[in-house]
Amino acid sequence: MMNESWRLANATWPTIVLCVIVALIFLFIFFRQLKRYSGEPRAIALEVLRLFIVGLMLFTLLDPVKIMKSQRFQDPLIAVLTDESGSMDTRDVLLNKDDVITRSEWVNARKTEEFWKPLEEKYKVDLVGFDLPTEGSEDPGTDLNQALLNTAENYKNLRAVVLMSDGDWNKGKNPTTAASVLQSRDVPVYSMITGSDRYLPDIDLEDVKAPAYGLVEESLSIPFSVQSRMPNDVTATIKLLDQDNTIVSEKEVTIRSMSQVQDAIVLEPQDEGLYTYKLEVPNQRGEAFTDNNSKSFNIAMKKEVLRVMVIDSSPRWEYRYLRNALSRDPGVNVSCLLFHPGKGMSIGGGTDYISEFPKDLKELSEYDVIFLGDVGRDQLTDEQLDMIQGLVEKQGSGLVFLPGQNGNQATLKDHPIMDLNPVIMDDSVSEGFGSRSESKLVLTDRGRGHLLTMLAPEADINYRVWRNLPGFYWYAPVQKARPGSSVLGVHESARGDFGRVPLLVTRTCGSGKSLFMGTDAAWRWRRGVEDRFHYRFWGQVVRWMAHQRHLKGEEGIRFFYTPESPKRGEPVLLHATVFDRSGFPLDEGSVTVNLTSESGSSEIIDLQKEDGGYGVFTGTFTPERGGNFNLKVECDAAQRELETKLYVEAPIRERTGRPAKANVLRELSNVTKGKWYTMDQLDEMIQKVSVLKESSVQEERFSLRASLPWAGFIVLLFMIYWVCRKLLGLI
C-alpha cells in the first residue's frame, strides 16, 4: 500500500514573508499594467502569464516535496561490511601484552554466527566483504564510498549498516557521498574502528631517486629518504647491494625520532652493463614492519666522453682555469673558442682550440654543454646565437652563462637567447659590481643538497664547505631570478629590490638546462687545496647538464625520456634526436617507438616532428602497468634504430603500517546519525543495534525544486513570454 502526500520543506517564516512581499510587488505591477493595456487583450494575456510564472517560482522556492510511504513486508536487514583490503594486513591489534595480530585476523575471528546472534533474533544479518583483491589487479585499492553505495542499492529493506574497517580509503569518491544517501533513507552506519589510531615503531625507506644511467669510473650520487616512526633516535648503516648481494657502498646516517632524513649514497661503477641494485636500511629492534626497509632499482653503466665548447672574449683567469679543469678531465673533450679582445677574431693554437664557430647544425649538435663567457654581438652573430638556443631547447644540451667584467653579454639583451638565462640582468650597469673586500657565495636550502653543488657527502657539511671557500671581489648585475628557476646560491650580503642577489641559478629550458654563474672567481677555490673543489664543481656541472642527452644513444640517433624514474599512471615524454646518413639533423621522415611490457603486450607510438630543423621528434605515453618496458626506436627514412629499457615504478596504494583513519569512520557515523565504536566496544555496539526502533514504513521523497523537467517547464514559459513581447513590440 502506497500513501502519497505533499509538504513545503522550506516553508519557514523568513521564506514565507519574502514570498508574500515579492507577490505583492508583482500584483501591484500587474494591476498597473492592466490599466495601461486596457483594450489590448494580447498584452493583458502576457501580463497574466508573467504573474503565473512568478507564482510558480515562489511556489518552487518553498520547496514542495512529495512524500511516498509504503508498508514494508520484508524483514529488516542489517548489513555487516568487512574491509578486506590490503591495509587490513597491518599487525597492530593488541590482544594482550605479547599477542599482536593483524586487523584482518581480528575481523575474520568475528565473522562467525555467534557474534551476531543477538541481532538475528530481530533482523536478518548479511556479512559482506568489500575490496577483495581481484586476480591480476595492478593496483588494488579501497573504495569505501562504492561499498556503501552498493549496499544501499542492493538492499531495499536495509535497517542499518555495521562497518568494520580501518577507514583507509584511497580510491573513488569521498565516502560521505554514500553516507548522505544512507542518511536520506534513515539508515544509520555503526562504525567499528579497526586498528590502532597511531603509528607503530617503524623505519620506512620511502624513496630512492636513482638515475637511469651512470658513467663508468665516475662517482654517482643516489639520493634517498628514510622516515622514522621510532620513539628514539636511530643510527643505521645504509647499504647498497649489487645483484649478487655484495655490499658496494655503505653510509652511516642518524635518523631522528619521528622525523625524515634525506641523504645520498655514492656509487663508483667500474664496468659497463645494466645492473640491479638494492638499497637497504637494517631492521631495528622493536620495529613493527620489516618489509619496507629496502628498494631495488636498475642503473645502466656506460662509458661516455662529453663534448664541451667554451667561448670567451679574453683569456681571463676564470677562462684559463676552467679550460685547464675541463681539458684534464678524462671524461670531457673540450673545444675552446677564444676571441682577440676588441677584434672579434678567433685565437688558434693548442689541441683544444678551434679556429671558428661550428658552421652548421651538424657540427654544433656534437656539443653537450656550451659555456658562454664574456661575449656578445662583437663575437657571435644572430645566426650563431639562434643555433645555440635551438641546440639547448630542442636537442637537450646545456648552456652555462659565465659573464665577465667587460659586460659583453649585455649586448645580447634583445636576443631570445637571453630568455634561457635563469636570471634577469640589470643592463644599466653591464660591467657589474666590484669591491675591495672579499664576499662569499652562500648556498640556499635548495642548493645545500643539489647534485650540482655537492662538494661534500652530506648537505650540512657541504654548506660549511661552501662557506669556507675563497670568496670573490666582483659579481654580475642581477635583478632577480627568472620565474621557474632554482636559486642554488646567493650573495652573502648584497641585496636588491627582490632580496639577496642570486648568483648561482639553474633553469630547465625546453629539453635542455641552463646555469648562471654570477662571479668570475671560481678559480680562487684552488687556494690551499689545489684542484679538489674547482675541478669537482665544473666536472659536476658538465655531467649534470649533459645527463639527458646520453640516456641512450647509437650512431645517428639519441633518445631520452622524462622523468627518468616514472611511476605508473604518470605521463612520460619521449624525445628522439635523429640524424640522416650525412650526419645532418633529419628534415623529413617518421620516428616510431615500440613499447613492449613484461607481459608481452605492445604499443606503437608515433613521435611528432618538432619545428626548427633540429631533427627532434617527441611524443608521450602513460604506462598503465609497472615493471620493465623494452623500447625500440626506429626511423626508416634515416635507417636508424636503437633499443633501450624503461623501468616504471608501481606505487602501492594499499600500504600496511599506517594508522587507522578513525576520523573518516566517525564522520560516516555522524552524517547518518549512527555511532562509532572501538574494538573493545563490540558487545556494546551489537547491543545498541539490536534495540533500534523498527521501521515498518519505507519512505521515499521527491523534491520538485530538484526536478529538471520542472525547471525546464519554467524556462520554457519564460521563453514564450519574451518571444511574445518582442512580437507585440512591447518594451
What is residue 658's predicted lDDT score, i.e. its pLDDT? 84
Residues forming beta bridges with residue 79, ordered by sequence position? 126, 161
Q: Which CATH class is domain 306-550?
A: alpha beta
More confident residue, 108 or 344: 108
Of 130, 22, 110, 164, give the one whose Cα is nearest residue 668: 164
pLDDT at 73 over 50: no
pLDDT at 134 over 80: no
Residues forming beta bridges with residue 241, ordered by sequence position? 247, 278
Q: Are 190 and 676 in contact (CB under 8 A)?
A: yes
> In the structure, what pLDDT confidence band is assigned to residue 96 with cuts at 50, 70 and 90?
confident
Amino acid at 15: T
Q: Give the Cα separation of 293 and 657 in Å (integer).
A: 12
Q: Where are the domains of the chain?
A: 2-71+703-728, 77-193+659-695, 203-302, 306-550, 552-648
What is residue 345's predicted lDDT score, i.e. its pLDDT? 59
What is residue 65's predicted lDDT score, i.e. its pLDDT? 83
> In the structure, what pLDDT confidence band is assigned to residue 302 with cuts at 50, 70 and 90?
confident
> Which phi-psi region, left, alpha or beta, contains residue 226 (left: φ > 0; alpha: ψ -120 to 50)?
beta
Euclidean distance between the first and the last CA atom of the chain, given in angstroms as a whole number: 54
Second-level CATH architecture of 203-302? Sandwich (2.60)
More confident residue, 371 or 68: 371
Q: Do domains 203-302 and 552-648 have the same CATH topology?
A: yes
Topology of domain 77-193+659-695, CATH: Rossmann fold (3.40.50)
Count Cα neighbours of 404 within 13 Å in the Cβ-side half-sphere: 18
Q: pLDDT tens for residues 478-494?
A: 999 999 999 999 999 99
Q: pLDDT tens for residues 5-23?
A: 778 878 888 888 888 998 8
What is residue 311's predicted lDDT score, i.e. its pLDDT? 95
For residue 445, the Cα-to-chain-centroid distance in whole angstroms is 21
Topology of domain 552-648, CATH: Immunoglobulin-like (2.60.40)
Q: Give the Cα separation of 260 and 226 in Å (integer).
A: 6
Amino acid at 639: Q
> In the structure, what pLDDT confidence band is assigned to residue 729 with cuts at 50, 70 and 90?
confident
What is residue 172's predicted lDDT score, i.e. its pLDDT? 87
Order of strands, edge to edge, in the sheet holding 306-312? 346-347, 332-339, 306-312, 369-372, 398-401, 512-517, 499-509, 486-496, 441-443
pLDDT at 343 over 80: no
| pLDDT, mean of residues 522-550 | 88
> In the structure, what pLDDT confidence band is assigned to residue 342 with cuts at 50, 70 and 90?
low
More confident residue, 56 or 552: 56
Q: Coil, strand, or helix at residue 35?
A: helix
What is residue 565's predicted lDDT score, i.e. its pLDDT? 81
> In the structure, what pLDDT confidence band is assigned to residue 346 with cuts at 50, 70 and 90?
low
Q: pLDDT tens for residues 152-170?
A: 988 888 889 999 999 988 8
Structure-block grid coordinates of residue 46: 502576457
More confident residue, 71 or 262: 262
Q: pLDDT tens for residues 649-668?
A: 887 778 777 889 999 999 99
pLDDT at 472 over 80: yes
